[in-house]
Amino acid sequence: MEPTNVGNPDYYHKVVDCQWACPAHTNVPGYIRLIAQERYDDAYMLNWESNVFPGILGRTCDRPCEPACRRVRVEEKPVAICRLKRVAADLRGDVTPRFPDIPKQKNGKKIACVGAGPASLTVARDLMPLGYEVTIFEKNDRPGGLMWTNIPQFRLPPEVLWEEIDYILDMGVDIRYNAPVESMKWLLEQDFDAVFVGSGAPRGKELRLPGRYDTDHIYIGIDWLESVAFGHVNSIEENVLVIGVGNTAMDCCRTSKRIGGTNVKVMARKSKPYFKASPWELEDAEEELVDIVENHSPTEFVVEDGVLRGMNFDIVEWHENDEGRLVSTKLDETFFPAEAVILAIGQETAFPWIEDDAGIEFNKWREAVVDRTTFMSTREGVFFGGDAAWGPENIIWAAEHGHQAAISIHAYCRGEDLRKRPPEHMNLVSAKMGLHEWSYSNDYEYAHRRKMRHVRLEERLQSIETEVEEGFDIEQTLTEVERCLNCDIQTHFTGSLCIECDACIDICPLSCLTITHNGAEAELRTRLTAPAENEEQDIYVSEALPQTSRVMVKDEDLCIHCGLCAERCPTAAWDMRTFDLLKPYAGQDAEHPYSGMGIEEMSPGGFVSVTP
Amino acid sequence: MTYIAKPRVFHPSLEKNELGLTRRDYEGVMSTLCAGCGHDSVTAALIEAAWELAIPTHRAAKMSGIGCSSKTTAYFMSESHGFNSVHGRMPSVASGANAANRDLVYIGVSGDGDSLSIGLGQLCHAVRRNLNLLYIIENNGVYGLTKGQFSASADMGSKSKRGVPNEQPPIDPALLGLSIGATFVARGFSGDKDQLVPIIKAGIRHPGLALVDVISPCVTFNDHVGSTKSYAYTREHFREAVEAAFVAPKDFVPPADEITADIGSAEVRDVRMHDGSVIRFRQVEGDYDATDRDAVYGYLRERQNAGEVPTGLLYVDPESRDLHDVLGTVDRPLWDLPFEELCPGSEALDALMENYR
């Protein structure tokens, strides 16, 4: 193998599994260490920099970081990353003085955003400090998009939502409520230099079965949740069937339980391993005594004299056919009584307000054709992001889309090449503080993931406004921050210093290290101290070592970043170095790498800035 | 020294030996030796060898004297017996322990200071008696614990850290052992576990004293340019005389099979030991005969005069008989004898004395 190029920020970034998995590349171990130091403001700002909505996401994120967490590879459960994000948000003080200054002298460029959801808000946050004038058109009388209309208050209290949205609106965003954009052509005729479409995926999917339109007790999940949010709906019948088993279905069934539904069933076509809902949302629903019924495929709404009686289902079983596709076999039929049915089987984008001749191309599913890199549609100056771009995703994706679209809009307004993305940089600073002192806590101790405490069942089902999760207490927080393995403290190797004494290999508790003769990757992976079988994880290969021309090989898979290799290295060939990804945002270019949101240097000492 | 405890977390595919133990079960406490010390690699080799041989950890005794080397016994097999004795006196204490309980596996770890200066007489007589003991000398040519003075194994002309050459001739433990009747003589290098682990395994199973001289660089006081016991010098002058592998009786494969199975053309020769185990030698030097004491002695002199460091399982006596065998002592360990047998009383003593009248 060629020697590994650790100068490419991607190499060390990938070692930080959580950060790599996060669409917005939030510096997870960094903020967890700040929480451990009780620097909650700093921890909050480190989040805010990349994911914009720490308090909201600390309650609602889909957590792509957690399944990726390295802890899963040595223990059963990941660090409760999402919960710790909420700790940072709960315990922060007034962070407003630390927000970027908004120039009084504007740069003369005007940007229109459609919809006041997380994607548009992120675009506004990234562009306002650069002197842009941003106008957001919102069809409702308040901002937030799906964060407000579709996430029930018992999961996300409104005050948390409004506070973080206000941080952005208070930058001087011109937000126009009750102002649905009804014509793209009209919008394009206005005096805007660029348009960002962040209007989400507002159309719930239909279930066209017999009886669908014979009653008014069948609701579309996202529309129904919106009506509940606005207070238009405040009750439901006792027997409720929710069709679909994604996260929206979970919100629908749990909301039903609070406004009159006593017998609420979630009806799933497939079996549990194929459920789309996040495991923790399923658990929370089951805790609230919602029945989740698997392998029931709906066939008919049973309506008698305009009154909904229930639904017929086929009981099915699933198996993979020769092509590896899942197919069902009908076993039996059954009837479930219900007075109300909520359809939560997916949602899609809808652009009735974009005219065919507006210059924006659509594909055969009526989705806008959007460039994956630049986020620009086929019409110059019109950008898409969030669910509006490629269909339903999560808030964290919307934030990242917003960042990327903002970079593009900035480049577009300056007449620059949109495809030339500002490069990522990194800082790599030694974590060595003294002969045997490191700037992080590297003791590994086995510890179970702490469980979030919930408000008592009887109490929480009384009101839709009672937040279920109570947040972490101090013991839970301290345990969880210590569970983090500090994957961003990288094992950094300098081959020219190595005397091949084997000290690192002998001490490594996870058998990650080997000195051996170089070879092709597949073959090399088989003859390490412990075979490197997880091919999703890289192996590091050094240059040829001075004494024997062999190479140092490290399997990144199971390293727990304890630092013993560096501790036992007589020549400092191994060093532990804090990796800090410098992710570019709008307005930062190669010459001006990002300087951070006023967070003091996390590691002392000089730093090495490495460019790819 | 290191303050971080080695975490009790393992690679999920860590292998187990026939006792169901992993290598980690053969570890000891965290080393307090300098980072990069060759002795820690010897420790790792001992752990590997004991794990591969599946020695029950409570059936071994670790013996040592004084010096950096003698701390080694704390760093492996923490469940085993151990005696960290007086400077240079490890062989005496080991002799007593072995006399009392012949059933344990005895692992002695000493150094060039402990064994070639203050304990030289002890070493020689333990070798002569052929005590059933693995005797490892972690040889770095200096007194590391007292800041790097030359030891008795320092080569002529080897330079101290200050740059002053040594002008006294060395005592070579391998040549010494051969000249006083050692039945197992080997030399290894802490930086080459592929060679060292099989030597240690054979040494542990050898019925008698297995003298293993391990070049184990002192990373703090003797790893500089001009030293003849540094990592770099040893690697440059390393010469493997013969390759050896220990084959437990049940694993024994007739050599012919192995030759056909092996791609290399090197000749394989099996030396069958008393207990039925086999040491399998793969010739590296054409006609090297590891059972010919005089030839081995001559070879070592010749190669060392040429400035090389000859290594390998240099000599083994297949007819080796350990101290108990020679003295015809009781087969069972003393703790296992009924009191009446162990201490037959004054009448038996009187009867014995009567014999000498």
Domain segments of chain B as ranges: 23-241+286-327
Name the nearest CA neighbour of B107 among B67, B49, B151, B36.
B49
Q: What would the two tokens of residue B279 be?
A: 């040491």
Please give the interface size between A and B, counted as residue pairs whose CB atoms are below 8 Å apart: 96
Per-residue model confidence (pLDDT) at position A603: 37
Among A440, A499, A525, most B C-beta atoms within 10 A, so best to mutate, is A499
Residue range A99-201+349-413 forms a domain whose CATH class is alpha beta
Among B8, B11, B51, most A C-beta atoms within 10 A, so best to mutate, is B11
Per-residue model confidence (pLDDT) at position A589: 59
Asked if A466 and A455 count as a contact pair (C-beta separation under 8 A), the reply is yes
Q: How far apart are CA A281 and CA B155, in angstroms?
A: 72
Mean pLDDT of B254-278: 62
* A43, containing H or E segment: helix A40-51
Q: What angle do CA B303, B307, B312 make, to 5 degrees?
A: 50
Q: At which residue do the structure tokens 């027997």 appear? A: A239
- What Cα–Cα distance (Å) separates residue A542 from each residue in A246, A430, A546, B36, B291? 46, 19, 11, 19, 42
pLDDT-above-90 percentage for chain A: 89
Note which residues in 187-206 of chain B have CB less than 8 A from chain A. Answer: 190-191, 193
Asked if A118 and A147 count as a contact pair (C-beta separation under 8 A), the reply is yes
Q: Is A74 on the interface with B (CB under 8 A)?
A: yes
pLDDT tens, A149-205? 999 999 999 999 999 999 999 999 999 999 999 999 999 999 999 999 999 999 999
CATH fold match for the domains A99-201+349-413 and A204-345: yes
**Residue A590: is its pLDDT beyond 80?**
no
Q: How far apart are CA A423 and CA A441, in angstroms?
A: 31
Q: Is B5 on the interface with A (CB under 8 A)?
A: yes
Q: At which residue do the structure tokens 């069709």 appear? A: A243
Architecture of domain A204-345: 3-Layer(bba) Sandwich (3.50)
Q: Which residues from B are below 8 Å from A567, CB to CB?
A: 2, 4, 35
Q: For residue B24, what is the nearest residue in chain A, using CA coordinates?
A: A509
**Residue A595: is its pLDDT beyond 70?**
no
Residue B4 has its nearest CB partner, among A511, A562, A570, at A562
Note which residues in 398-417 of chain A have CB less than 8 A from chain B. Answer: none
Q: Is A329 exposed, middle or buried (0-12, 13-18, 19+ CB in 10 A)?
A: exposed
**Residue B206: is its pLDDT beyond 60?**
yes
**Residue B261: is its pLDDT beyond 50?**
no
Per-residue model confidence (pLDDT) at position B250: 65
Looking at A485-494, A578-587, B1-10, which range is the least confident one? B1-10
Collapse the DSSP code of B159 into the 3-class scheme (helix H, G, I; strand E, B; otherwise coil) and give the result: strand
Collapse the DSSP code of B136 into the 3-class scheme (helix H, G, I; strand E, B; otherwise coil) and give the result: strand
Q: Listing from the earlier edge strand, what are the strands of the sheet with A608-610?
A: A489-493, A574-582, A425-430, A608-610
CATH of domain B23-241+286-327: 3.40.50.970
pLDDT category at B264 given cuts 50, 70, 90 is: very low
Cβ contact, residue pair A533, B13, below 8 Å: yes
Per-residue model confidence (pLDDT) at position B245: 86
Q: Listing from the earlier edge strand, what are the strands of the sheet with A263-267?
A: A218-220, A340-343, A239-243, A263-267, A291-293
* B120, containing H or E segment: helix B120-129
Residue B36 has its nearest CB partner, among A499, A509, A548, at A499
Q: For residue A437, what is the nearest residue in chain B, using CA coordinates?
A: B3
Other CB atoms within 10 Å distance of the CB of residue B34: 19
Highest mean pLDDT among A442-456, B8-22, B31-45 belongs to: B31-45
Looking at A50-54, A138-142, A224-228, B4-8, which range is the least confident one? B4-8
Per-residue model confidence (pLDDT) at position B253: 54
* B82, containing H or E segment: strand B81-84
pLDDT, mean over chain A? 93
Mean pLDDT of A567-588: 93
Taking phi over 0 as left and psi of -120 to 50 as alpha, with beta for the rest, A578 belongs to beta
Q: What is the pTM of this model?
A: 0.90
Q: How far apart are CA B165 and CA B42, in angstroms?
A: 27
Cβ contact, residue pair A530, B13, below 8 Å: yes
Q: How far apart are CA B270 and CA A89, in angstroms?
A: 71
> HSE (CB half, 13 Å, CA atoms) of A541?
20
Q: How far apart are CA B53 and CA B251, in angstroms?
A: 12
